[in-house]
Amino acid sequence: MKLGKYALAAGVILAGVGGAMAQPQTKLVQRLDKAMIQAIWCSALFFEESYYHDTESDEAYHYEDLAFELGAEIDTLLLDEHGMQQAEVDEIWSIFDSAAYDLAEADDTGFLTQVETCESNYDDLL
């Protein structure tokens, strides 16, 4: 993975945004490197952001596409390279999607800052 500069930037954003929540912690991701966890978090943020635009708008499709493209890569890596079971992967997505929703509801500014950081570093995520 080529997440060097992104990990630093996102780490600063995640730690420094007033009131913003970082990625959720779960035993299922303990064995994963920080870059993979960041990618999962960004995909969850993109998915959540897609709901804040009109259903068939270009913006909604844009964020949905980002979420699903990244999510498909992540699923492949988790299942094939990390040897996870589909139920474990589904649980990770459930936890991260729920946390992204909670962040969007609790801290709109922090949420949007994290979405923007993820989007600007999208090509370096995986």
- The predicted structure's pLDDT at residue 87: 97
- The predicted structure's pLDDT at residue 23: 78
- What's CA 82's distance to the chain center, in Å? 18
For residue 125, which of 29, 36, 31, 28 has the smallest C-alpha distance? 36
pTM of the complete model: 0.83
Tell me, yes or no, whether 5 lies in a domain: no
Q: Provide the domain limits for residue 52.
A: 33-124
Phi/psi-derived region of residue 21, left when phi > 0, alpha when psi is between -120 and 50, beta in every other case: beta
- The predicted structure's pLDDT at residue 67: 97
C-alpha separations of 8 from 35, 38, 56, 60 in Å: 10, 11, 34, 28
Tell me, yes or no, whether 3 lies in a domain: no
Structurally, the chain folds into a number of domains equal to 1
Assess contact for 41 and 71: CB atoms under 8 A.
no
Consecutive 10-residue averages of pLDDT for the chain (126 residues): 41 42 84 94 97 91 97 97 96 96 94 96 90
- The predicted structure's pLDDT at residue 28: 93
Tell me, yes or no, whether 79 lies in a domain: yes
